[in-house]
């Protein structure tokens, strides 16, 4: 099942009316309003997790084998400075026989994580690393810089939609104007982890090479909600 990742930003604005109005003044002509603005945003960051998993009767030799491959991957990544690489999860655990009594061997697994806005460089590096590593996952997201820019634009749009609804409500109730009592701005961002295509999980061919994969980043849905109260006047 595809994973759904979620991030939220919340901002509450209180109108100056709350600082000097008596409690009785806010017990009538109050209306709660909610307005939204949303947009599909092209993902501009690629994330990938690759791993190595090996077994050996000697844990020291197992660790040495895995470390050699990870060092080889780190060295290969230096040819792609536009791709960020970092060490991921690591684990080593014993494997017992069918009776669960005798220790047969040790199995170890280590991950590396890649992140880049250069999809071509990332795909080239992944195809090179797949000669001795396996791909665990590939997904795409919106970068912080782009997200903040779009978020600010959606805040403006949601606020304008809120004001338009407030004016509509005042007109519907034959009121000349309205006063803002409270306003809450919240932002919800979603992106979906893409399933790894079958070719990405295949082992290297006989000539020890893997065809570079063409990727499609897709879109993320971003939305901003403006909810609050107004007092008709």
Task: Give yes or no: residues 115 and 66 share one domain.
Answer: yes
Task: Give yes or no: residues 19 and 77 share one domain.
Answer: no
The candidate with the shortest Cα–Cα distance to 52, out of 42, 39, 64, is 64
Task: Give yes or no: residues 11 and 87 share one domain.
Answer: no
- pLDDT per residue over 23-38, tens digit each? 556 678 899 999 999 9
Residue 216 domain-assigned (yes or no): no
Q: What are phi and psi of 207, to 5 degrees?
A: -85, 10
Of 218 and 107, more confident: 107
Task: Give yes or no: residues 171 and 85 share one domain.
Answer: no
> What DSSP string runs through 149-178?
HHHHHHHHHHHHHHHHHHHHHHHHTT-S-E
Task: Give yes or no: residues 24 and 135 share one domain.
Answer: no
Task: Give yes or no: residues 119 and 60 share one domain.
Answer: yes
Task: Give yes or no: residues 33 and 57 share one domain.
Answer: no
Task: Give yes or no: residues 76 and 117 share one domain.
Answer: yes
Number of domains in the chain: 2
CATH number at residue 115: 3.30.70.360
Task: Give yes or no: residues 63 and 109 share one domain.
Answer: yes
Residue 109 domain-assigned (yes or no): yes
Residue 13 domain-assigned (yes or no): yes
Q: At residue 41, does pLDDT exceed 80? A: yes
Q: What is the pTM of this model?
A: 0.73
pLDDT given for residue 2 in this prediction: 44
- pLDDT per residue over 52-107, tens digit each? 999 999 999 999 999 999 999 999 999 999 999 999 999 999 999 887 778 999 99
Of 87 and 194, more confident: 87
The whole-number average pLDDT for the span 210-231 is 85
Residue 204 domain-assigned (yes or no): no
Task: Give yes or no: residues 105 and 79 share one domain.
Answer: yes
Q: Which domain holds residue 76?
A: 45-141
Task: Give yes or no: residues 108 and 63 share one domain.
Answer: yes
Q: At residue 200, does pLDDT exceed 80? A: no
Residue 79 domain-assigned (yes or no): yes
Helix (H) or strand (E) holding 59: helix 59-77
């Amino acid at each position: 099942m595809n994973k759904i990742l979620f991030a939220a930003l919340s901002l509450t604005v209180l109108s100056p009316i709350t600082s000097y109005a008596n409690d009785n003044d806010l017990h009538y002509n109050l209306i709660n309003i909610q307005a939204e603005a949303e947009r599909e945003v092209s993902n501009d960051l690629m994330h990938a997790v690759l791993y190595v998993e090996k077994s050996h009767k000697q844990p020291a030799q197992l660790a040495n084998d895995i470390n050699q491959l990870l060092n080889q991957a780190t060295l290969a990544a230096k040819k792609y400075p536009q791709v960020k690489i970092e060490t991921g999860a690591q684990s080593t655990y014993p494997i017992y026989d069918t009776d669960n009594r005798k220790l047969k061997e040790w199995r170890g697994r280590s991950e590396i994580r890649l992140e880049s806005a250069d999809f071509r460089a990332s795909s080239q590096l992944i195809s090179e690393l797949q000669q001795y590593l396996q791909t665990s996952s590939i997904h795409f997201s919106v970068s912080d810089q782009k997200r903040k820019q779009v978020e600010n634009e959606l805040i403006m749009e949601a606020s304008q939609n809120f004001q338009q609804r407030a004016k509509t409500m005042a007109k519907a109730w034959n009121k000349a104007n309205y006063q803002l009592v409270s306003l809450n701005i919240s932002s919800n961002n979603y992106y979906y982890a893409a399933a790894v295509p079958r070719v990405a999980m295949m082992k290297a061919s006989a000539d020890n090479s893997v065809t570079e994969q063409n990727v499609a980043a897709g879109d993320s849905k971003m939305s901003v909600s403006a909810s609050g109260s107004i007092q008709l006047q």
